[in-house]
């Protein structure tokens, strides 16, 4: 509370407001910035609510800002342990750096069993540790993973939380009909699906649109397919969001993209 006759200062902001602000800043700023500003800011930055979402994807910037000098895995695991402790284990989502492995995911799953979402770009085949981690996350609502993870063993485990699992992103070079069918069968309640920069056929695209009845958002921007047809656009019209970029089989226009029902033309066939 600002004193009478004195202009209010940043440190005079209430703790709840500070926490609300600090929840939205980057991790490196939370650790190496606001914590050294004043006592009130340091106290607010230590609130578990500020550590519910852990985003390590900008690892190079994080490590430089925090002056890390050891091996990547060593520094990352120390920071991961520190961050989870700050959150009191109540972490909602984790975005792993590219070099993280299934041991890191299992570490999080054992300490944050109520984790709702994780982003894990490792392209290795799922190991026993990965399966153990998924099995522990009974409250999982979404994930972003490499195509190697979309296999029978993983999908079978995810069926246990299929009622609440609503968001999936797959990093893939190509989405086959078999993969699409497996996703639709195991996770029929998906509301948000991202399959960017990959190859897929029109039957695959139509399969998602036909089978995922609750789907609200489909992002296939940058995907490789012969064309976006009228049939696809008509089926996708029920979605709240449809992001795509490909040829449009509606006339002479060569390339276009769409978002939320609008079509944006980018060039002509000549």
Q: What is the largest CA-CA distance in the chain?
A: 71
Contact (Cβ atoms closer than 8 angstroms) between residue 132 and residue 155: no
Q: Supply the pLDDT for residue 252.
A: 36
Minimal CA–CA distance to 225: which of 177, 170, 169? 177
- Inside any domain, residue 144: no
240, part of any domain: yes
Per the domain annotation, does 62 fall within a domain? Answer: no
pTM reported for the whole predicted model: 0.83
Does residue 84 sit within a domain? no
**Position 264 pLDDT exceeds 70:** no
Burial class (CB in 10 A: 0-12, 13-18, 19+), 200: buried
**Number of domains, the chain:** 1
Q: What is the pLDDT of residue 116?
A: 97
For residue 80, CA distances in Å to 27, 87, 92, 217 come to 11, 11, 14, 31
State the DSSP H helix or E strand holding residue 144, giving kind and residue range, or none if neither: strand 142-146
8 inside domain: no
Domain ranges, residue 224:
189-249
pLDDT digits (tens, 9 = 90+) for 35-83: 777 777 888 888 889 899 999 999 998 998 889 989 999 999 999 999 9
Classify residue 197: in a domain, yes or no. yes
Other C-beta atoms closer than 10 Å to the C-beta of 59 total 19
The pLDDT, as a whole number, for residue 6 is 60
Give the model confidence (pLDDT) of 150-182 as tens digits.
999 999 999 988 889 999 999 999 999 999 999
Residue count (the chain): 270
Question: Does residue 200 lie within any of the structural domains?
Answer: yes
Q: What are phi and psi of 56, to 5 degrees?
A: -105, 10
CA dihedral 249, 252, 257, 261 (to 10 degrees): -70
Does a structural domain hold residue 244? yes
Indicate whether 224 pLDDT > 70: no
């Amino acid at each position: 509370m600002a004193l009478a006759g004195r202009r209010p200062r940043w440190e005079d902001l209430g703790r709840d407001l500070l926490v609300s602000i600090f929840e939205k800043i980057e991790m490196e700023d939370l650790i190496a910035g606001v914590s050294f500003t004043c006592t009130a800011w340091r106290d607010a930055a230590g609130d578990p609510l500020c550590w519910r979402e852990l985003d390590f994807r900008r690892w190079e910037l994080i490590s430089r800002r925090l002056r890390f000098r050891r091996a990547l895995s060593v520094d990352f695991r120390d920071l991961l342990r520190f961050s989870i402790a700050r959150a009191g284990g109540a972490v909602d989502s984790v975005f792993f750096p590219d070099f993280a492995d299934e041991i890191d995911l299992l570490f999080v799953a054992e300490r944050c069993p109520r984790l709702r979402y994780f982003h894990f770009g490792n392209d290795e085949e799922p190991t026993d540790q990965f399966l153990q981690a998924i099995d522990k996350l009974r409250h999982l609502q979404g994930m972003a993973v490499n195509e190697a993870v979309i296999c029978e063993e993983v999908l079978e485990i995810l069926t246990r939380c299929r009622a609440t699992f609503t968001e999936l992103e797959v990093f893939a070079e190509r989405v086959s009909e078999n993969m699409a069918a497996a996703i639709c069968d195991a996770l029929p309640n998906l509301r948000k699906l991202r399959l960017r920069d990959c190859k897929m056929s029109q039957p695959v695209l139509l399969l998602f649109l036909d089978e995922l009845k609750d789907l609200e958002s489909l992002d296939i921007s940058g995907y490789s397919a012969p064309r976006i047809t009228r049939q696809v656009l008509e089926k996708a019209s029920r979605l709240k969001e449809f992001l795509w970029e490909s040829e449009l089989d509606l006339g002479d226009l060569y390339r276009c993209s769409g978002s939320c029902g609008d079509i944006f033309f980018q060039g002509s066939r000549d």
